[in-house]
Chains A and B, each alone.
Chain A
Amino acid sequence: MHEEIYIAGIGGQGALSMGQLLALAATSENKKVSYVPSYGPEKRGGFANCGVTISDRTISSPIISEPSVLVVMNNLSLKNHEDSVIPGGIIIVNSSMVDLGVKRSDVHVISIQASEEAEHLGDVRVTNSVILGALLELTGVVSVSAVEKSFEQILPKRNLDMIPINYKALEKGAELARVLKKEWSNLS
């Protein structure tokens, strides 16, 4: 198992938290892992990306330039990173925020209206957990329970009461991904 996951969005969408949850969950499962964030100096609205490599073998380079999984949470992120995904890789799109289409035909694309789904659950802030639920369902890179256990360490203390709704969001994301996965056609 070797996955290179790149998560791209803007500050406040939870890209970095998602990456940290994955990294912590992988550590608890004794997998090799590296997490590298990349963000601008802006207080609000700047780009916020991170790369998480999870593997059975020692990770040479922690820098991801050709991800196997790409998560995009705004138009610019899709435009900037679409071409980097390896053929046969996965692009997960939060279509609540992204209206551009994916041009690549040699990758799997999963579009989820994650922000709307999060709002239905009661809090738009769990958008990233909806996406993370889908990612876990599609890749199995770490177990859902390992991610669930990681929330306590990643969430700030004042938000610990949001753990149950995050669990629901993970479940919702997984449910959506299961349905969409069935519609995956063979790649050209």
Chain B
Amino acid sequence: MKGNDAIGEGAILAGCRHFFGYPITPQSEVTHYLAKRLPEVGGLFMQAESELASINLVFGAACAGARVMTASSGPGISLMQEELSFLAGSELPCVLVNIMRGGPGLGNIGPSQADYFQATKGGGHGDYHIIVLAPNSVQEILDIMKKAFDLSDMYRMPAMVLADGIMGQMMEPVVIDEEKSIEIPPRPWATIGRDYHEDRNEINSLFVILEEMEEVNLRLLHKYEEIRAKETLCEDYMLDDAEVALVAFGTVSRICRAVVDKAREQGIRAGLIRPITLWPFPYDVISRTAKSVQCFLVVEMNMGQMFEDIEIGAKGRAPVYHYGRLGGMVPLAKDILEELKRVSERGGTGR
């Protein structure tokens, strides 16, 4: 199954029956797949006139209590940022998928991880976070869609699945577990009319009284703290006795796993940390590892974005290096291995 198709099928398996979106390479197969599949399961697929319309339709469907999603690539996700802030402020659950491509601007259709900052640090205005999940195989894409919907529902906030063009376009075998029963939690807050609940429901992100706004902010803060404590996901590989820790997410983490194997064959004790949730970020794992390794090498398809989170986690206890390819280019295993050898013999920190 193709990664983009797995996004669509994963959403359907998660009980999502509403999709609003607009095609863009390298995401187009998601819209293509759901246009065919959603009507088959009694769902609604709608190709909107733009990404702005798509995310506003998502907002409306979320207000009405639907399990709803949209998908796009960087340029489209940028257009959605204002509404993403409104969704966070209104505490509405929904899932966004960003199949990242080369940028900035229109860039190109090559794979990239350049939207890390936008996804994890908030591209919209205001003090908010969204949950960000980064799968690294087609099977994991399929499974993580349900995770995204469940977390989004549980905490009443948007969740994003962040993947690059390779993840979207690649094909791998998958096992589809259709037995799993779907439990969509009740939504007593949904604005579906007085026929369904006694009290008047209101969904809003405008709080003109400053004290009220601060109360909302504090509620969000406590929610974010709970998520940080409970929902952080991270995978490691050969880390126990590692002298150099590679850190990578998504496609690059797959390449780095091969690099760890090659390095070990040559007697270099390398290990790999793969954050699965990019927000909340597994700072604890980085802090712990910083005590036992000589240095970190962060590998990304960007100029060094997750790099900054590793520096925060390492707290100066171990030097942090970065190796990146840009503009839609993919780092090669042999180049990463060379960089690994270079940094393991050097002190300090740098890119």
Contact = CB atoms under 8 A, between A and B. Distances in A.
A12 interface: no
Given A36-B166, A41-B108, A61-B257, A66 B334 contact: yes
A16 to B, nearest CB: 10
Contact of A27 (B109, B170, B173): B173
Q: How large is the interface on B (under 10, 10 to 19, 20 to 34, 35 or more residues)?
A: 10 to 19
Contacts of A6: none
Interface in A55-81: 60-63, 65-66
A27 to B, nearest CB: 5
A20 B171 contact: yes
B228 to A, nearest CB: 30
A64 to B, nearest CB: 10
A185 to B, nearest CB: 29
B73 to A, nearest CB: 13
B171 A63 contact: no
Given A20-B171, A34-B170, A35-B171, A60 B261 contact: yes
Interface string A6-43: 00000000000000100100010000111111001100
B172 interface: yes
Contacts of A63: 166, 251, 254-255, 330, 332-333
A45 B247 CA distance: 38
B258 interface: yes
Interface in B320-340: 330, 332-334
Nearest to A31: B173
A27 B171 CA distance: 10
A23 B254 CA distance: 19
B169 A37 contact: yes
A60 B258 contact: yes
Interface in A97-116: none
B287 interface: no
A77 B255 CA distance: 23
Contacts of B332: 63, 65
A27 B138 CA distance: 14
Nearest to A27: B173
Nearest to B256: A61
B260 to A, nearest CB: 8
B333 A61 contact: yes
B81 interface: no
Contacts of A41: 25, 108-109
B225 to A, nearest CB: 36
Nearest to B171: A35
Contacts of B170: 34-37, 62
A23 B171 contact: yes
A63 B166 CA distance: 9
A161 to B, nearest CB: 24
Interface string A114-141: 0000000000000000000000000000
Nearest to B331: A63
A35 B333 CA distance: 17
A61 B250 CA distance: 11
A60 B251 contact: no
20 contacts: A20-B171, A23-B171, A32-B173, A33-B173, A35-B171, A35-B172, A36-B166, A36-B170, A36-B171, A40-B109, A60-B255, A61-B258, A62-B166, A62-B172, A62-B251, A62-B254, A63-B166, A63-B330, A63-B332, A63-B333
Given A23-B171, A66-B334, 11 more contacts: A34-B172, A35-B170, A36-B170, A41-B109, A60-B255, A61-B254, A62-B170, A63-B166, A63-B254, A63-B255, A65-B333
The 5 A-B pairs of least Cβ separation, nearest first, read A60-B258, A61-B258, A35-B171, A60-B257, A61-B255
